[in-house]
Homo-oligomer: A and B are copies of this chain.
Amino acid sequence: MPNPTAAILIIGDEILTGRTREGNAHFLAGELARAGIDLRQIRVIGDDHATISAAVRELAGGHDQLFTSGGIGPTHDDITADAVAAAFGRAIDVREDARAILAAHYAARGVEFTPARMRMARIPEGAALIDNPVSGAPGFSVENCHVMAGVPNIFQAMVTGLLPRLTGGAPLESRTWQLMVAEAAIADQLGALAAAHPGVSMGSYPFVTEGQYGTNLVVRATDPVALAAAFAALQAAFPEGK
């Protein structure tokens, strides 16, 4: 059975203007590879209701799982929850269990539970909550769309709680063979090897270090036997690597 597929949708003007360098997608990409969920697309869009709704509809429709990051805080630019509710045609309002989680979180810290903080208890109808051990305000899953915070340590905590609930597949394993030659010098041999190992993906990533050209050859597969055979073939073809 093929692995389930996924997309990641990052929501936030601050990334599109170059102010913030985004890192949640890179973190989740590694977690998905380990879980055996094939990430097919990462998309970054701005804080616009119609744009978010359209992207959620398209990406949730085209993949088994969709993960979003950003826009679920207490301020006026946090519009993700409403846009996701609209994408799935669901109502959204303050929900009692989410309100209780936030109330307990603030009470334990002696912090006032303001109307702005109450906004973070607005959850689309029929969603399942995603635990937020860092700052209380939960994420949520609507059908196959998992809505999480953009602040990196909160995003990571939410992913760690969420992933075991999802059905994965065979983990994608990879091995790297590094050569201190330019990739053009080995392109033909590598192309022949890739053609001879159709169940394995062979990637070639050039780099320059201290003025020397080098190439990382990466083999990836979900089948460990096929991976080992392809890696052995790489080692035999380029014995000078490491």
Given contacts A75-B183, A114-B185, A204-B75, whether A18 and B14 have CB atoms under 8 Å apart is: no
Chain A contact residues, CB within 8 Å of chain B = 10, 12-23, 25-33, 39-47, 51, 73-78, 111, 114-117, 119-120, 151, 153, 172, 174, 182-188, 190-191, 194-195, 201-208, 218, 220
Q: A46 to B5: give the CA distance in the assembly, Å.
A: 13
Name the prevailing secondary structure of the A interface residues: mixed
Chain B nearest CB, measured from A187 CB (Å): 3
List 29 A–B pairs whose Cβ atoms lie within 8 Å, in order of A's numbering: A10-B42, A13-B203, A14-B218, A15-B29, A16-B40, A16-B42, A17-B220, A18-B29, A18-B30, A18-B31, A19-B218, A20-B205, A40-B46, A40-B51, A42-B43, A43-B44, A47-B203, A73-B184, A73-B204, A75-B183, A75-B184, A75-B191, A76-B187, A76-B191, A77-B203, A77-B204, A115-B188, A116-B187, A120-B184
Could you tell me if B31 and A26 are in contact, using CB atoms closer than 8 angstroms?
no
Q: Nearest residue in B to A150 (C-beta to C-beta)? A: B205
Chain B residues with Cβ below 8 Å from A183 are 73-75
Q: A119 to B188: give the CA distance in the assembly, Å.
A: 11
Could you tell me if B41 and A18 are in contact, using CB atoms closer than 8 angstroms?
no
Q: A220 to B16: give the CA distance in the assembly, Å.
A: 12
Chain B nearest CB, measured from A86 CB (Å): 19
Q: Nearest residue in B to A176 (C-beta to C-beta)? A: B19
Chain B residues with Cβ below 8 Å from A117 are 184
Chain B nearest CB, measured from A192 CB (Å): 9
Chain B nearest CB, measured from A208 CB (Å): 8
Could you tell me if A15 and B42 are in contact, using CB atoms closer than 8 angstroms?
yes
Q: A29 to B44: give the CA distance in the assembly, Å.
A: 11
Chain B residues with Cβ below 8 Å from A30 are 17-18
Q: A186 to B114: give the CA distance in the assembly, Å.
A: 10
Chain B nearest CB, measured from A32 CB (Å): 7
Chain B residues with Cβ below 8 Å from A45 are 40-41
Candidates B33, B120, B190; contact of A17 at CB < 8 Å = B33
Q: A195 to B75: give the CA distance in the assembly, Å.
A: 12
Q: Nearest residue in B to A20 (C-beta to C-beta)? A: B205
Chain B nearest CB, measured from A234 CB (Å): 13
